[in-house]
């Protein structure tokens, strides 16, 4: 997760980036920072990712919508926090399940207005879902795959009827960003509409646009009275990681989401009193194994591989320690309330090449005279490790892991591909092992469901949606189904424990390091940012949860 | 005329070949644009969104490739370069239209300035062949020309822009300004262009100067120059009217060709200085595997290079009668 920025600008201009950071590092401290005066009228300057110039697009359905569209302007029904695994009612205040968990009823919050002054109601929500049904290209959460109907019995109630009991649907349904019926019912083609004058419920509204910078100003109709405390937001366009880095170090950017090597030197040291970062640890980066393929179809082999890789070395060497070593259980530290201590301690997390070899030998692997590891079928154990060529940190991660595996006699080879080719191999199951982002949601159920559910996979050669490792287990399917059919927290907790036990006993795939939320912030002009001590929201300006930060920061 | 006709046919064939390669090359790559778009979101996008993106991009309908090619040609005839994927739903021609003026302004102007300065200095060097000015300039320009561009650009950015704060370090104008035709905005744009422009001029002027110097020296050794000197014509007149006209010929070709490349933008310049030109756009498009945008930009670039070459051919045939009639004699 959250790797948008760092993954770009690493190919062609890595030389430039490297040279730029060296030059900054040489001078160290003492950069003049922006004048503190006039801070009260200054907008918050935010860089989510470098983009040479902007093209106007505030369509909340579009994955390409400009930063700020979701969260600062369009708001979700419920805010989800990936770091803590918690959620908070937003445009609704309360919901309940009924009809054997096939009906979800939402109570729409009263007193909310669109930025044009009309009232927000349940009808807008129903309209939005109907629009997604009519235009499947708008249905990014794929809700109409499990939704049967949606209705508004009165202006403050929305009723969803599902095809079958589906607790997980809550996240997919309520993270949708409603649009006003009065505006969108007149749009001819909502798929290609770039929505140049957005009407939304959020704390900010569009002030002006230029391809170099766009500004959002306070929405006078915002429902949380007195908020936000800041006057507006500015989103400047920077070409590359290195230009963002320069701007950050000069104090020209208040809030950034940049992966930068040695952030301490290039950012914090340029203004130690005000420049800070908090890279929260989220869902793991995985070493996917192809569980449909010999010898990865043997759980012992996957467990052995998990013991054979040195996660600390990967974290330090490939990720500068910003993405910390993951536990093999795969549940990030912020969601500790879900972690079963026994499963956590049984997980093959600790680097232990001897144990790895012992496990492999116990299932028939042997070493030959040349030190090569032979599979039970007598052939040398060799594998390719796929990685995306321009993602230099991943390439380093995989190189470290390949070295670890070679040390125990496995002929592990790194194979670099462009993203689309790499992703196509993952989807089609034409790989041995591959590094990649895990799919996740606001709690570990989503992670396990995406990774273990046999409905999420496909035979080798066909496209799998999320279960790229092609893991199949009747037990997993059963636990996942039971979990998803009950709204009883105790039953859920019991099933979660079973899922965790099953995970560490079979290791469907191998968590390596936690994915970081890239997040740099300056207290020069604004204070009140989320910190590890006060983690009131997910850090970083990437998701709709950025709204909580925008509502809590104040001008100095 | 036969010469020109031959050239025109050549350029038409070259252009058709370009657009055809332009069409087929990206389609030979594995994966599809929807998957490439997923890359931008780095696992943050709901995996189910892939389906909706494929529908939006029209990838769920399988059209035979020849139909796609014919559609593509039809669109090109209408000047429609398609829809960008990375900036979806923005049109490719719209994006190019926003970026192109900045590139023409920055790189175009810098190239012309660099050419004029280079030609003047080159001529003077040749005139003062072996003198102090010539020795210094030749050495200096060989040095600047051989210097890696990105090093100069980064050094200028860091020293002049970042450390001394003389010029802004990024963008085409201050981000808090709205583009208007007011004096202050124009001044702001010029201030932003000076640093990147200086780096282009600094590293390219040597090429023109050294070339002009060398061709002029060769020309000065020609018999007709000796003849002119013998007639007692002033050195200045010889340089301008006799030697200069001939010496500048190869440089005109070089200049016309470089005008074609201007459209492509100075990719490194635009990246280092975050300049919103076409080179920058191409860089972003490549990074995001935005094939329609890459195709569109490459087509514009190849068209400009071909057009500039054509102009060079025409100019050459006008300046040099041997080219025009050569074949018939």
* Interface contact B154, partner A, CB < 8 A: yes
Domain of residue A375, CATH code: 3.10.105.10
Same domain, A369 and A380: yes
pLDDT value at A41 more than 80: no
Can you say how many angstroms the Cα of residue A162 is from the centroid of all Cα atoms in its chain?
Answer: 26
Out of A3, A24, A210, closest to residue B42 by CB? A3
For residues A79 and A544, is the Cβ–Cβ distance under 8 A?
yes
Residues A197, A223, single domain; the answer is no
3-class secondary-structure state, position B168: coil
* Residue A80 and residue A219 in one domain: no
Please indicate, yes or no, if residue A93 is contained in any of the structural domains: yes
- Domain membership flag for residue A430: yes
User: Who wins on pLDDT, B138 or A479?
Assistant: A479
CA distance A199 to A115: 5
Angle (CA) B319 B325 B327, round 5° = 130
Question: Which of the listed residues A201, A229, A248 is the one where a domain comes to its end?
Answer: A201
Q: Is A129 within a domain?
A: yes
Instruction: State how far the Cα of A544 lies from the Cα of B86, in Å rounded to an integer.
Output: 21
A325-355 pLDDT tens trace: 999 999 999 999 999 999 999 999 999 999 9
CB A393 within 8 A of CB A331: no
| B31–A424 CB contact, under 8 Å | yes
On chain A, the residues whose CB falls within 8 A of the CB of B98 are: 53, 55, 211
Residue A221 domain flag: yes
Q: How far apart are CA A38 and CA A42, in angstroms?
A: 6
What is the per-residue pLDDT across A488-515, written as a single tens digit (0 to 9) for each? Answer: 999 999 999 999 999 999 999 999 999 9
Contact A246, B169 (CB under 8 A): yes
Residue in A213, A437, A450 closest to B42 by CB: A437
Helices (H) and strands (E) in chain B, counts: 17, 0
Helix, strand, coil percentages (3-state) for chain B, rounded to 5, are 75, 0, 25
Asked if pLDDT for residue B262 goes beyond 70, the answer is: yes
Last residue within a domain, chosen from A201, A228, A245: A201
Q: Please check whether residue A208 touches B, CB under 8 A.
A: yes
Contact status of B274 with chain A (Cβ, < 8 Å): yes
CB-based contact (8 Å) between A250 and chain B?
yes
Q: Both A257 and A314 in a single domain?
A: no
- Confidence class for position A429, pLDDT limits 50, 70, 90: very high
C-alpha to C-alpha distance for A343 and A196, rounded to whole angstroms: 51
DSSP code per residue over B17-68 = HHHHHHHHHHHTSSS-HHHHHHHHHTT-S-TTHHHHHHHHTTTTS---HHHH
Question: Are A137 and B179 a contacting pair at CB < 8 A?
Answer: no
Is A61 among the domain residues? Answer: no
Residues 52-91 of B with CB under 8 A from A: 52-53, 55-56, 83-84, 86-90
CA–CA distance, A247 with A250 (Å, rounded to integer) = 5
Q: What is the pLDDT of residue B265?
A: 63
**Residues in a beta bridge with A209:** A214
Is A140 in contact with B48 (Cβ distance < 8 A)? yes
CA pair distance B35, B96, nearest whole angstrom: 24
CB contact A438 to B (< 8 Å): yes
Same domain, A383 and A462: yes
B144: how many CB neighbours lie within 10 A of its CB? 17
Q: Answer yes or no: do A269 and A347 share one domain.
A: no
Indicate whether A343 and A402 sit together in one domain: yes
Partner-chain contact B272 A16, CB within 8 Å? yes
pLDDT greater than 90 at residue A202: yes
Per-residue pLDDT at A458: 93
Regarding whether A229 and A376 lie in a shared domain, the answer is: no
- Is residue A503 domain-resident? yes
Count CB pairs under 8 A between chains A and B: 209
Instruction: Give yes or no for residue A31 having a pLDDT over 60.
Output: no
User: Are residues A243 and A166 part of one domain?
Assistant: no
* Token pair in block for residue A188: 């001819």
Q: Higher pLDDT residue, B245 or A298?
A: A298
Which CATH number belongs to the domain containing residue A118 in this structure? 3.90.76.10
CATH code of the domain in which A36 resides? 3.40.190.10
**Last residue in a domain, options A161, A178, A201:** A201
Each residue's pLDDT tens digit, B21-34: 888 887 777 667 77
CA distance A73 to B94: 25
Q: Could you tell me the end-to-end alpha-carbon distance of chain B, in angstroms, rounded to an integer?
A: 14
Q: Is the pLDDT of residue A2 over 60?
A: no
Enclosing domain of residue A437: 282-507
- Please, what is the average pLDDT of chain A? 90
| Per-residue model confidence (pLDDT) at position B314 | 81
A186-190, A220-224, A237-241, B115-119: which range is least confident on average? A237-241
Cα A306–chain centre separation: 23
Indicate whether A5 belongs to any domain: no
Task: Look at residue B40 in the predicted model and tell me its pLDDT.
Answer: 66
Closest-CA residue of chain B to A11: B287
Say whether B270 and A418 touch across the interface (CB within 8 A): no
Q: In this complex, do A390 and B163 lie within 8 Å of one another by their Cβ atoms?
A: no
Residues A249 and A211 in one domain: yes
CB of A53 within 8 A of CB of B274?
Answer: no
Q: What percent of chain A is modeled with pLDDT above 90?
A: 81
A475-489, B56-70, B101-115: least confidently modelled range: B56-70
Q: Would residue A287 count as lying in a domain?
A: yes
**Average pLDDT score over residue span B260-264:** 73
User: Same domain, yes or no, for A287 and A227?
Assistant: no
Q: In this complex, do A420 and B40 lie within 8 Å of one another by their Cβ atoms?
A: no
From chain A residues 445-504, the ones with a CB under 8 A of any chain B CB are 450, 465-466
Instruction: Say if residue A351 is in the same domain as residue A322.
Output: yes
Residue A183 has pLDDT above 70, yes or no: yes
Chain A residues within 8 A of B38 when measuring between CB atoms:
423
> Which tens digit of pLDDT belongs to each residue from A297-316?
999 999 999 999 999 999 99
Domain count of the fold of chain A: 3
- A518: closest CA among A239, A324, A277, A330? A277
């Amino acid at each position: 997760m959250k790797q948008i920025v760092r993954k770009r600008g690493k190919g062609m201009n890595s030389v430039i980036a490297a040279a730029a950071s060296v030059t900054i590092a040489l001078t160290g401290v003492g950069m003049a920072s922006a004048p503190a005066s006039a801070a009260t009228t200054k907008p918050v300057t935010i860089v989510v990712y470098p983009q040479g110039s902007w093209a106007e697009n505030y369509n909340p359905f579009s994955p390409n919508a400009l930063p700020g569209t979701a969260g600062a302007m369009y708001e979700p029904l419920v805010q989800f926090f990936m770091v803590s695994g918690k959620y908070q009612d937003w445009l609704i205040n309360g919901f309940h399940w009924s009809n054997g968990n096939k009906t979800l009823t939402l109570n729409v919050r009263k007193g909310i207005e669109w930025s044009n002054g009309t009232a927000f109601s349940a009808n807008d929500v129903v309209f939005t879902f109907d629009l997604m049904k009519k235009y499947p290209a708008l249905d990014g959460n794929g809700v109409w795959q499990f939704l049967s109907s949606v209705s508004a019995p009165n202006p403050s109630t929305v009723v969803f009827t599902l095809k079958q009991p589906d607790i997980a649907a809550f996240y997919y349904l309520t993270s949708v960003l409603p649009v006003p019926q009065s505006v969108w019912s007149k749009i001819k083609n909502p798929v290609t509409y770039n929505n140049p004058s957005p009407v939304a419920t959020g704390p900010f509204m569009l002030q002006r646009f230029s391809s170099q910078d766009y500004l959002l100003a306070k929405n006078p109709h915002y429902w949380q009275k007195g908020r936000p405390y800041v006057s507006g937001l500015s989103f400047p366009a920077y070409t590359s990681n290195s230009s963002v880095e320069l701007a950050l170090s000069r104090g020209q950017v208040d809030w950034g989401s940049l992966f930068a090597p040695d952030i301490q030197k290039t950012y914090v040291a340029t203004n130690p009193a005000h420049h800070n970062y908090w890279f929260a640890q989220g869902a793991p980066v995985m070493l996917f194994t192809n569980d449909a393929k010999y010898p990865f179809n043997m759980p012992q082999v996957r467990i052995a591989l998990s013991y054979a890789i040195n996660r600390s070395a990967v974290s330090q060497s490939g990720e500068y320690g910003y993405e910390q070593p993951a536990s093999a259980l795969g549940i990030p530290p912020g969601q500790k309330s879900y972690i079963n201590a026994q499963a956590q301690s049984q997980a093959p997390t600790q680097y232990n090449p001897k144990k790895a070899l012992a496990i492999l030998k116990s299932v028939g692997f042997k070493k030959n005279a040349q030190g090569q590891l032979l599979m039970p079928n007598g052939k040398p154990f060799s594998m390719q490790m796929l990685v995306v060529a321009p993602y230099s940190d991943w390439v380093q991660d995989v190189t470290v892991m390949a070295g670890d595996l070679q040390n125990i006699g496995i002929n592990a080879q790194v194979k670099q591909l462009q993203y689309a080719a790499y992703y196509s191999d993952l989807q089609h199951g034409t790989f041995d092992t591959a590094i990649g982002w895990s799919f996740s949601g606001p709690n570990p159920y989503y992670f396990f469901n995406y990774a273990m559910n046999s409905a999420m996979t496909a035979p080798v050669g066909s496209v799998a949606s999320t279960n790229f490792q092609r893991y199949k287990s009747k037990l997993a399917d059963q636990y996942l189904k039971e979990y998803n059919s009950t709204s009883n927290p105790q039953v859920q907790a019991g099933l979660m424990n079973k899922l965790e036990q099953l995970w560490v006993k079979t290791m469907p795939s191998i968590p390596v390091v936690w994915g970081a939320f890239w997040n740099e912030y300056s207290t020069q002009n604004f204070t009140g940012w989320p910190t590890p001590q006060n983690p009131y929201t997910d850090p970083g300006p990437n998701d709709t949860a950025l709204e909580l930060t925008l509502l809590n920061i104040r001008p100095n | 005329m036969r010469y020109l006709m031959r050239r025109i046919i050549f350029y038409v064939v070259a252009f058709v070949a370009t657009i055809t390669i332009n069409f087929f090359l990206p389609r030979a790559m594995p994966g599809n644009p929807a998957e490439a778009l997923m890359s931008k979101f780095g696992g943050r996008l709901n995996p189910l969104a892939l389906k909706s993106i494929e529908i939006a991009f029209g990838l769920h309908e399988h059209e035979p490739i020849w139909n796609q090619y014919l559609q593509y040609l039809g669109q090109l005839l209408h000047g429609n370069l398609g829809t960008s994927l990375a900036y979806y739903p923005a049109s490719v021609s719209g994006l190019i239209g926003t970026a192109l003026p900045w590139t023409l302004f920055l790189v175009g102007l810098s190239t012309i300035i660099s050419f004029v300065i280079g030609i003047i200095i080159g001529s003077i060097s040749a005139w003062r062949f072996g003198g102090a000015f010539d020795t210094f300039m030749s050495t200096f320009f060989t040095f600047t020309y051989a210097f890696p561009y990105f090093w100069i650009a980064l050094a200028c950015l860091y020293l002049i822009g970042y450390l001394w704060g003389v010029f802004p370090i990024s963008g085409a104008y201050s981000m808090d300004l709205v583009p208007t035709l007011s004096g202050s905005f124009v001044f702001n744009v010029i201030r932003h262009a000076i640093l990147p422009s200086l780096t282009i001029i600094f590293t390219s002027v040597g090429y023109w100067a050294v070339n002009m110097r060398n061709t002029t020296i060769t020309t000065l050794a020609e018999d007709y120059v000796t003849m002119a000197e013998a007639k007692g014509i002033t050195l200045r007149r010889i340089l301008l009217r006799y030697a200069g006209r001939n010496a500048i010929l190869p440089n005109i070709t070089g200049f016309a060709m470089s005008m074609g490349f201007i459209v492509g933008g100075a990719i490194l310049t635009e990246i280092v200085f975050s300049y919103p030109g076409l080179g920058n756009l191409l860089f972003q498009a490549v990074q995001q595997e935005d094939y329609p945008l890459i195709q569109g930009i490459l087509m514009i670039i190849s068209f400009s290079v071909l057009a500039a070459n054509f102009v060079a051919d025409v100019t050459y045939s006008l300046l040099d009668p041997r080219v025009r009639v050569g074949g018939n004699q």
